[in-house]
Amino acid sequence: MKKQKGILFDLDGVIFQGNRLIPGAKKTLQLIREADIPFRFITNTTRMTKKSLIDMLYSMGLSINSHEIFAAPHAAAEYCKINNYKSIALIVPKKNMEEDFKDFNLTYNNPEAVVLGDMGNLFTFEILNKIFELILNGAELIAMHKNKYWNSSSGIKLDLGAFVSALEFSSGKKAVVMGKPNPYLFNLAIHSWNISKDLIYVVGDDIESDIGGACNSGMKSILVKTGKFIEENLASSSIKPDYIINSINDLNKIIKLK
């Protein structure tokens, strides 16, 4: 009997880049659906709500369902529930992201935790210093991810990880990191599949967050040479992918889709 496989995709750099789909993405996903292979998208993005992501992909010509996306903010909310936190300081770039945390009291007055997303150019000394003060007063720092950089349509940009590291250094306290490469997001995404982890393939463009996360989670890894892929990073990294392909268009070389 053929064993069931599953696939977890990174989004930015694998499915799309900038404001357009990567060639072959739509066709490959269609073949995966036809082959009845379960798949989901896992992303560290904290700049967009799930609905915004779905609308953006639809504008590029790709229709996906809300249950097919697992993002770092949802993992952070789940972590807070598991730890019975009632009050949190939510630091995110857009107010509509508060809907994912509607079960909590959102406050800066002695919160039990600070949940931090990427503020991009909205980061200021005042914001960082306020978070620093809350941590010193006992709040746990929960970072939605700790990416070093991301590849925007206008080039490589500094990401949340730099600010998380600064807060860790100054406070002397380690952040709890929800997003990739932490196994939490990967395990949450496959929770309902009942598929052995060694039959789950993670497809990503980031050697640390995607490929490293797959390794941390006991899953197979496929590195694509699109998005933020840099040959020098692969050569110098101790993390080694199970497979390397040029793009999602070549996924059929690893996983039989038809």
The arrangement of strands across the sheet holding 39-43 comes to: 69-71, 39-43, 6-9, 200-204, 220-224, 243-245
Residue 166 pLDDT level (bands cut at 50, 70, 90): very high
Q: What's the CATH code of the domain at 158?
A: 3.40.50.1000
Model pLDDT, residue 2: 64
Check residue 126 and report its DSSP letter: H
pLDDT 10s digits, 119-153: 988 899 999 999 999 999 999 999 998 888 877 76
Q: How confident is the model at residue 155 (pLDDT cuts 50, 70, 90)?
A: confident
| Interatomic CA distance for residues 189 and 197, integer angstroms | 12
Over the chain, what is the mean pLDDT? 91
Q: Which two tokens stand for residue 206?
A: 């980031």
1 pLDDT higher than 60 = no
Supply the DSSP symbol for 23: T
Residue 103 CB coordination number (10 Å): 10
Task: Select from 177, 194, 217 the last residue of a domain.
Answer: 177
Same domain? For 237 and 173 the reply is no
| 66 is a domain residue | no
Residues 35-66 pLDDT 10s: 999 999 998 887 777 888 899 999 999 999 88
Helices (H) and strands (E) in the chain, counts: 8, 15
User: 202 pLDDT band (50/70/90 cuts)?
Assistant: very high
Is the same domain home to 84 and 117?
yes
51/12: higher pLDDT: 12
Q: Which one of 177, 209, 237 terminates a domain? A: 177
Q: Which of 147, 177, 207 is the last residue of a domain?
A: 177
Q: Which domain holds residue 81?
A: 73-177
SS3 243: strand
Q: How many domains does the structure of the chain reveal?
A: 2
Please indicate, yes or no, whether residues 79 and 164 belong to a single structural domain of this protein: yes
192 with 240, same domain? yes
Mean pLDDT of 27-32: 95
- pTM of the entire predicted model: 0.79
Domain assignment present for 67: no
* Domain annotation covers residue 52: no
**Percent of all residues in the chain with a pLDDT value above 90, rounded to a whole number:** 64
Asked whether residue 118 carries a pLDDT value surpassing 70, the answer given is: yes
Structure confidence at residue 211 (pLDDT): 95
The Cα diameter of the chain in Å comes to 60
84 and 152 assigned to the same domain: yes
Cα atoms found within 13 Å of the Cα of residue 201, Cβ hemisphere only: 21
Q: What is the pLDDT of residue 46?
A: 76
